[in-house]
Structure 1
């Protein structure tokens, strides 16, 4: 299975330093899973303000890792400023969730503790 994150992007951020890449990966694995859970809960509870905060907070990390879900994150952010029901972004949050959960597994394999 091909990687859903870009090791090249991570290497670029870390200046090619493998140890620093591991630190960045481990930090991602510490911070993003709880943020993802909070985003999912906020959407489930129709808390648009909180959903926006978590989607926006996650964006720089997703971009830094070259994960191809920025359009979905943007759609979630846009949804928070509408009166639309959460079903309008069901596909977006599903893609974000499944993609990130796969990335978590890949990072754990690539950067074991």
Structure 2
């Protein structure tokens, strides 16, 4: 099974503390899904400012978990500063949704959450 996040990144941050790792995973699962949904809704409604805010808010967690969607997040941030149609950013949003949904499942499995 392909891993969509890098557990070694978390282990390094947590200094091997398994309880802390589980807390990191739990916090990610509590915070990111509603932010992801809100960002998708903001893009759907072409609310650029809100899309930017959620993309920017999620970026540190995405980096910490080693999730390979930073380019997509950065593209959404950049799009929010333009007048381009939302269609240019939809493939990025789809990739983020696809990848993060796999991350959510992997974290639940890996940490029995």
Aligned length: 113
TM-score normalised over the length of structure 1: 0.98
- Name which of structure 1's ranges 10-19 and 28-37 shifts more when overlaid on structure 2: 10-19
- Give the equivalent residue in structure 1 for 2:17: 17
> After the TM superposition, which parts of structure 1 deviate over 3 Å for at least 4 consecutive aligned residues?
none
CA drift at 1:13: 1.2
Determine the structure 2 residue equivalent to 1:96.
96
* 1:50-87 Cα deviation digits (max 9, x unpaired): 00000000000000000000000000000000000000
- Secondary structure (helix, strand or coil) at the match of 2:15 reads coil
State the TM-score, normalizing by the size of structure 2: 0.98
- Residue 112 of structure 1, CA deviation: 1.2
- Structural RMSD (CA): 0.6
